[in-house]
Amino acid sequence: MATLVERAHELRPLIEEQAAAAEQERRLAVPVVGALTDAGLMSMCTPAAYGGAETDPVTLIEAIEAVAIGDGAAGWCSMIASTTSSMAAFLPAETAQTIYGDPQIVTGGVFAPNGVGAAIERNGVTGFAVTGQWAWGSGTQHCQWVLGGARCDDGTFRLCWFPQDDVDFHDTWHTGGMRGSGSLDYSVSDAFAPASYTMQPGVTPPVVDTPLSRFPNFTLLAAGVSAVGLGVGRHALDELNDLAQGKRPQYSSRTLAQNSFTQIELARAEAKLRSARAFLLDELDGAWATIAEGAAVTIEQRTSIRLAATHAATVGATVADAAFTLAGGTAVYDTSVLGRCLRDAHVVTQHIQTAPKLNEKIGQLLLGQDTDISMF
């Protein structure tokens, strides 16, 4: 049976074929959503107790990267849905089985506490009436369950799961990059979330205690976001390589591949991308080994992973920039894959978990300074 990473690579032709349509429609094409779901690439972190793959972080990153090589938006949606599925471990078992027990169900949403919840009882069930609107709802239009963070009047911060019928979607996703991810705004109004369909981040202990449930959630998310950047960067360099074999710039008798400047800059870009990828995977592997030994991931390890993830996101954009520039005027047309890679790569660096400004906090930790690590 093919591994998740192998399945992701096998889907590349379909993902590439549908990428232009996803950009046009500003959401993933239905065939791609179906193929990713069938391949288990939208729920890679679902606990084995509920029939999921319970994927280790290294495999997760390699699989997301492989999807993103085909199309950054597809990799982004696979990343969001899969990291969201890791939350299944913190829900009551019956709820988790209902939402995550069916491999055809996809979940997604936003952690940010943009909702407000009022503790109430409806039909004998205790829960919260939630109202709020969230931005960056990547792939939520193809999710059967959508979650959102809410501050509740009992003094708690909760992630709340809502069936899609309770969710309104807003046509806000008009962007430069990641157009195909469908990361529009969504909202709920007085939607009832039973208490059993909520959990408190950092407070609720895992119901299913596994190595993956003990891996820091934000660290996993940051690594996943950066994996998209690595995939986009890889796609850009592959596209440049293919283009360079035959393209002869105006007034030149040599192809791009025969041009010394192209050769030098491509070599540098390859070194940057491969190094960033190796750094990230090495740090994840070390942290996973720590958990396998029964210990907790240390703050030093979390810092190193966040450094590697932020660096990988930056490098993904850097090499996409280089490929775009080396390709010349060909790249500026809407039909150019390199144009899409350029735009998508720069969305990765805007994510709160991989933005360059995180280097300040990472530097503080490396220097032994006190700083807020609640999002680490």
Residues 157 and 222 in one domain: no
The answer to whether residue 297 is domain-embedded is yes
DSSP class of 297 = P
Residues 54 and 119 both lie in one domain: no
Read off the pLDDT of residues 7-42 as tens digits, 9 standing for 90 and up.
999 999 999 999 999 999 999 999 999 999 999 999
Please state, in angstroms and rounded to a whole number, the distance separating the CA atoms of residues 167 and 254: 56
Asked whether residue 85 falls in the same domain as residue 114, the answer is: no
Which of 90, 120, 142 terminates a domain? The answer is 90
Do both 59 and 25 map to the same domain? yes
CATH of the domain at 193: 2.40.110.10
What was the pLDDT predicted at 246? 79
Asked if residue 190 and residue 154 are part of one domain, the reply reads yes
Instruction: Residue 33: count other Cβ atoms within 10 Å of its Cβ.
Output: 24
Instruction: Give SS3 for 19.
Output: helix
CATH code for position 254: 1.20.140.10
| CATH number of the domain residue 56 falls in | 1.10.540.10
pLDDT tens for 64-93 read: 999 999 999 999 999 999 999 999 999 999
The parent domain of residue 85 ranges over 4-90
Tokens of residue 66, six digits: 């492989």
Alpha-carbon radius of gyration of the chain: 21
Number of independent structural domains in the chain: 3
Instruction: Mark whether 67 and 125 lie in a shared domain.
Output: no
Kind of pairing, strands 184-194 and 125-137? antiparallel
Give percent above pLDDT 90 in the chain.
94
Give the model confidence (pLDDT) of 239-271 as tens digits.
999 999 976 766 566 888 999 999 999 999 999
Q: Are residues 267 and 131 in the same domain?
A: no
For 144, 154, 313, 349, 374, the CA distances from 223, given in Å and listed in that order, are 25, 33, 9, 12, 17
Residue 202: HSE in the Cβ half-sphere, 13 Å Cα cutoff: 9
Is 244 within a domain?
yes
* Sequence-separated (6 or more) residues with CB below 8 Å from residue 318: 233, 269, 272
342 and 256, same structural domain? yes
Query: Is the model more confident about 203 or about 334?
Result: 203
Co-location of 221 and 362 in the same domain = yes
Mark whether 12 and 146 lie in a shared domain.
no
